[in-house]
Amino acid sequence: MGEKQARILAFTNWKGGVGKTTTCVNLSAYLVDAGKRVLIVDLDPQGNASIGLGIAPRKSKTVYHLLCGDCDISEAVQLTSVKGLEIIPADVDLAGAEEELVRMQGRERVLKNILDQARPSYDYICIDCPPSLGLLPVNALVAADALIIPIQCEFYAMEGIAQLMYTIKLIKKHPNLNPNLAIDGVLLTMENRGNLTEQVAAEIMKYFGKIVFKTRIPRNIRLAEAPSHGKPINLYDKRCAGATAYANLCKEVLARHKGIK
């Protein structure tokens, strides 16, 4: 009964280029720094979380093989250069998983059934979702305990959010999907100093209220460079503004999770 159970977080926004992967990878790395054991699930066929951690998924089993039942979770998990941070990688083959999932019984719960087996081995399981509609992100929403929603500080920030919120509502409403799904927080990313950023922030605060994180992630060249070196920002340049922001985000996330487990 006292067995440790990981908290499963899905990083999602159906608009691309908002910092989902950057946030998933770097928050995960800082959670490890805080003494947590973390598994990243790369659920995006672009495989950017895998690439950003220096993983070559084509040499291994991937999340595609796992979803299709071609391997078990222990065969798909890989170590990363960050001790305590593991990943189930993805590559372009994952794009074919939607077709495979459609034919499966309980297709919305395939990922949940897999990750529930892994809960006792980790403190956090972080899912990097694709920027799309379909069965892959729905599987992530059904598997997750909670969501972190990165939103870029730009004019079209709220584009797609209404559809995402509607889908979350449907999943919570269905007793066999995920009635307890929560939103852990909304994160403002790619912040520039200026009036537009403050206008966007005000709009997002009005929509989401207190669940918006106090931490904001700035536009930062070191954050953009780190994935090409296969490293999270705390290993690439822990003194840059982006690293400081993700360190602060980690503290805020852990503070919100106190007493949940």
Q: What is the predicted pLDDT for the residue at 154?
A: 86
- Rounded to a whole number of angstroms, the CA Rg of the chain reads 17
Per the CB < 8 A criterion, the answer to whether 236 and 225 are in contact is yes
Among candidate residues 85, 88, 98, 25, the one with its CA nearest the CA of residue 62: 88
Q: What is the pLDDT of residue 1?
A: 35
For residue 59, the model assigns a pLDDT of 67
Name 19's Cβ contacts closer than 8 Å, sequence gap at least 6: 150, 152, 187, 189, 190, 217
pLDDT at residue 260 in the model: 62
In angstroms, how far is the first alpha carbon of the chain from the final one?
12
The helix/strand count (H/E) of the chain reads as 12, 8
CATH classification of 7-254, choosing from 3.30.420.40, 3.40.50.300, 3.30.360.10, 3.90.1170.50?
3.40.50.300
What strands, in cross-sheet order, belong to the sheet with 78-79? Answer: 78-79, 85-88, 38-42, 124-128, 7-11, 146-152, 182-191, 212-218
Strands (DSSP E) contained in 129-201 are: 146-152, 182-191
Residue located via tokens 């340049």: 237
Predicted confidence at residue 259, as pLDDT, reads 60
Q: What pLDDT does 102 receive?
A: 80
Q: Tokens in use for 239?
A: 């003194």
For residue 156, the model assigns a pLDDT of: 84
Burial environment of residue 19 by CB neighbours within 10 A (0 to 12, 13 to 18, 19 or more): buried
pLDDT value for 2: 44
Mind listing the pLDDT tens digit of every residue in the chain (261 residues)?
345 689 999 999 988 889 999 999 999 999 999 999 999 999 999 999 999 999 975 667 999 999 999 999 999 999 998 999 999 999 998 988 888 888 888 899 999 999 999 999 999 999 999 988 889 999 999 999 999 999 998 888 888 888 899 999 999 999 999 999 999 999 999 988 777 788 889 999 999 999 999 999 999 999 999 999 999 999 999 999 999 999 999 999 999 998 665
pTM value? 0.94
Pairing of strands 146-152, 182-191: parallel
